[in-house]
Amino acid sequence: MASKEPTFEEQLTKLQAIVNQLEQGNVPLESAIEQFQEGIKLSKDLQKKLTTAEKTLGHLIDDNDEEKEYEKATDDPSNNGGGNRGFGSAD
């Protein structure tokens, strides 16, 4: 029987638990190294899942049922033009 791959949320929870344990500082060195290595692997796996999700969601269907690429809004606060305003923006 094949083992089920953990979900993004399960992996994130495990990574957070590892970080919490390492931050407490009362983990033996050998265990801390193993946990750190596992944390790095989890972090890479999570980043890969996020990148895949971003690519998947990066295509939108317009009003004519045609697929078009999503244009990301910039994080540049000096970009005051256009209709890509965030929550709480004053008009």
Distance of alpha carbon 24 from alpha carbon 28, whole angstroms: 11
- On average, the pLDDT of the chain sits at 79
pLDDT tens, N- to C-terminus, the chain (91 residues): 567 889 999 999 999 999 999 999 999 999 999 999 999 999 999 999 999 888 887 776 666 666 666 666 665 555 554 444 444 444 4
Lookup result for tokens 């929870």: 13
- Please state the domain extents for the chain: 8-58
For residues 68 and 62, is the Cβ–Cβ distance under 8 A? yes
pTM equals 0.61
Distance of alpha carbon 48 from alpha carbon 56, whole angstroms: 12
